Amino acid sequence: MTGRVEGKVAFVTGAARGQGRSHAVRLAEEGADIIAVDICADIDTVTPYYPLATEAELKETVRQVEALGRRIVARTADVRDLDGLQTAFDAGVAELGRIDIVVANAGIATYGRSWELTADQWRDMIDVNLTGVYHTAKVAVPTMIQAGRGGSIMFTSSIGGLKGIQQVGHYVAAKHGIVGLMRTMANELGPYGVRVNTIHPTNVATMMIQNPGTYGMFAPDDPEPTQEKAMPGFMSLNTLPVPWVESADISSAVLYLASDEARYVTGVALPVDAGAHVK
């Protein structure tokens, strides 16, 4: 099938690279225009583990979407900043004319035992991975309701939104939190034809897991953890015999939930996790 979201506009956060770029490009391949935002700056509690996206990476997302013949409005915005995010969203709607799909994808990962997390680690995690998701929905919903065409909102959760995972208690708390938000908003927005769902990946092969912090989760006693040393831990997480999935696998779920094929799917926590949540 082609053109599964033809003529629609999608708002994607964390769009400069990784899953966000993959989602934007996949939706564009199927006919959508894109409003893309990313912080394009580092957050101090995250940088010991991995750098966040850059403006050059956001420009590459723009290039890939435009190469498909689709329009894209890209802005730097921090999902923690409600006013800045609203400004970026409004600029996209002003140029592209509508909004049909929201993918609240922006997120971070840091590590530590729950009681040893710093106050800054906890605050940044909740602010980005929970409040940032709420902000993303908040800026878009009034326009979706006013348009009267319904639509699809998706929150990127995690297997950590379905089960406890050691070393990431703050992440797990945020990812569980957006499931509750999703279920509430699915009920609130159902009368307007707006569907709300969460997607729950296992580890995805992006920089968020391909870093020493994640490797250290699976090799906690090793002072110099590597991907090779962490591989048994990665493999043990999933039921299917893979260490992780690809961004494209999550984008396929995004496309499905965005399309009319899922027109009656709402309030669902959808795992794309190689069976990790049942293990």
The predicted-structure confidence for 78-130, as pLDDT tens digits, reads as follows 999 999 999 999 999 999 999 999 999 999 999 999 999 999 999 999 999 99
First to last CA, the chain: 33
Enzyme catalytic residues: 171
Residue 222: left (phi > 0), alpha (psi -120 to 50), or beta? beta
pLDDT at 165: 93
b (16+ CB within 10 A) / e for 27-37? bbbbbbbbbbb
Q: Burial-class residue 176 by CB neighbours within 10 Å (0-12, 13-18, 19+).
A: middle
Pick 225 or 34 by higher pLDDT: 34
pLDDT in tens, 126-147: 999 999 999 999 999 999 999 9
Q: Which two tokens stand for residue 227?
A: 């991907």
pLDDT in tens, 174-184: 999 999 999 99
**Average pLDDT rounded to a whole number, residues 175-195:** 98
Query: Poorest-confidence range of 173-177, 231-235, 239-243?
Result: 231-235
Task: Determine contact, residues 170/107, Cβ cutoff 8 Å.
Answer: no
Q: Which two tokens stand for residue 88?
A: 């970026």
CA-to-CA dists, residue 271 to 16, 206, 253, angstroms: 24, 18, 9
Reported pTM: 0.96
Cβ–Cβ contacts within 10 Å for residue 240, how many? 12
Q: Which two tokens stand for residue 271?
A: 């795992």
pLDDT at 1: 55
For the chain, give the mean pLDDT.
Answer: 96
pLDDT at 218: 84
**pLDDT bucket at 239, cuts 50 / 70 / 90:** very high
pLDDT in tens, 36-57: 999 999 999 999 999 999 999 9
